[in-house]
Amino acid sequence: MAIVMLMTLIGCDRDKVAADTQIAESTTSVETTTEKGTSELTAEEKAVVDLFQQGKYEATITKADAVLLRKPDSDIAYSVKGMALGLLGEPKKGLELAQKAYSLNEKNVSNYYNLAMLYKLQGQLDESAKWFRRVLDVEPHNTWSLYGLATIYADEGHDAEALIWLKRAIETDSTVKSVAREQDHFMRFHNNEKFKQLTQ
């Protein structure tokens, strides 16, 4: 099952986060996964997601606001707007919107992921890890949540755990190898033999 995991957003630097976003776009589907199954987005919600995927964050916010005028219970509009605000340097506001999205639809797994990313942007790694694990409770092989946990462990200096989660992420999607080689989270691992084996 695919999730509108709007991006990998695994780094906390906004420029790096924006670059990470492009990595996952080719695998991002315009559907949401809930604990009860998959549901299609409305055309307007899809337009919000499309703008976000194009990196047009201000336009995303404008379109999300228009969607919310007509559909004030759109968890997707709140969630995507929250991610856009986070990337534009307002992660606290973004987190508030993602929490609102979650309160509107606690079954939408995309909301779990977006909460994880916004907590990560704010440096709240324990909360971020909690929400990545919630995604994995529903989708045990979700690549970017596995990778998200790997980066958290790497950033916290828990090398063995980081490599375990990185291996799991790579097993689900080999493109993770190049991402891990390029991101700051794993820079200090470049001389680590296990890291080299995993990412070659």
pLDDT, tens digit (0-9, with 9 covering 90-100), for 117-159: 999 999 999 999 999 999 999 999 999 999 999 999 999 999 9
Would you say 158 and 184 are in contact if contact means Cβ atoms under 8 Å apart? no
| pLDDT tens for each residue of 84-107 | 999 999 999 999 999 999 999 999
Q: Hey, how many other C-beta atoms are within 10 angstroms of the C-beta on 161?
A: 15
CATH class for domain 1-127?
A: mainly alpha
pTM equals 0.82
Instruction: Read off the amino acid at residue 17.
Output: V
Domain boundaries, the chain: 1-127, 141-200
Distance, in Å, from the CA atom of 66 to the CA atom of 147, rounded to the nearest integer, reads 33
Count of alpha carbons within 13 Å of 52, Cβ hemisphere only? Answer: 36
